């Protein structure tokens, strides 16, 4: 799906996603990943949506994004507000989306020069099939 033409190659953008991975600027990730406009982090220790805790959300306070997108997997899920209360107090907007929507939305917001962070949870593959969608 074409979203926009990438002219600034120093920005990190989602370039592909599948059932059990995302690719950021061509680099494939099969574990939770945090994507900032100029950086990719793999030190966020979240493993799945059900295990998210206050500490997982507090991780983002030091990054100080304007908007935080949480990719929750194949289905959109919503965390309890008490888990991300400190983000609200810090005036950080938070959106929960399925992972594919979070990838596309992140790319659009980066193109608009927004201070956005995307945190994507990756489901471990359990079946022997694959599908993917390219983002360009």
Q: Is residue 8 part of a domain?
A: no
For the residues 3-31, what does the mean pLDDT come to? Answer: 84
Single out the residue of 56, 27, 53, 29 nearest to residue 44, CA to CA: 56
User: What's the structural domain count of the chain?
Assistant: 1
Single out the residue of 21, 73, 83, 75 nearest to residue 48, CA to CA: 73
Q: Is residue 5 part of a domain?
A: no
User: Order of strands, edge to edge, in the sheet holding 93-97?
Assistant: 39-41, 33-36, 116-120, 67-71, 93-97
Find the domain containing 55 and state its range: 14-126
Q: Is residue 136 part of a domain?
A: no
Q: Is residue 7 part of a domain?
A: no
Q: What is the CATH number of the domain that holds 59?
A: 3.40.1230.10
Q: Is residue 91 part of a domain?
A: yes
* pLDDT tens for each residue of 29-69: 999 999 999 999 999 999 999 999 999 999 999 999 999 99
Q: Is residue 35 part of a domain?
A: yes
Gap between the Cα atoms of 54 and 68, Å rounded: 15
Q: Is residue 131 part of a domain?
A: no
How would residue 129 be classed by pLDDT, with cut points 50, 70 and 90? very low
Q: Is residue 6 part of a domain?
A: no
Gap between the Cα atoms of 11 and 81, Å rounded: 31
* pLDDT tens for each residue of 74-125: 999 999 999 999 999 999 999 999 999 999 999 999 999 999 999 999 976 5
Could you identify the residue written with the tokens 């304007």? 66
- Residues forming beta bridges with residue 58, ordered by sequence position: none
DSSP 21-86: EEEETTEEE-S-EEEETTEEE-------GGG--HHHHHTTTTT--SEEEEE-SSS-----GGGGHH
Gap between the Cα atoms of 111 and 127, Å rounded: 35
How would residue 2 be classed by pLDDT, with cut points 50, 70 and 90? very low
């Amino acid at each position: 799906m074409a979203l926009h033409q990438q002219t600034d190659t120093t920005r990190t953008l989602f370039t592909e996603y599948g059932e059990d991975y995302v690719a950021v600027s061509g680099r494939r990730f099969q574990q939770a990943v945090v994507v900032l406009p100029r950086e990719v982090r793999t030190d966020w220790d979240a493993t799945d949506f059900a295990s998210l805790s206050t500490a997982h959300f507090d991780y983002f306070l030091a990054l100080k994004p304007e908007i935080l997108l949480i990719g929750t997997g194949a289905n959109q899920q919503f965390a309890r507000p008490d888990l991300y209360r400190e983000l609200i107090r810090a005036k950080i907007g938070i959106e929960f989306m399925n992972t594919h929507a979070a990838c596309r939305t992140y790319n659009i917001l980066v193109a608009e020069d927004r201070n956005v962070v995307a945190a994507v949870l990756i489901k471990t593959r359990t079946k022997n099939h694959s599908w993917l969608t390219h983002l360009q």
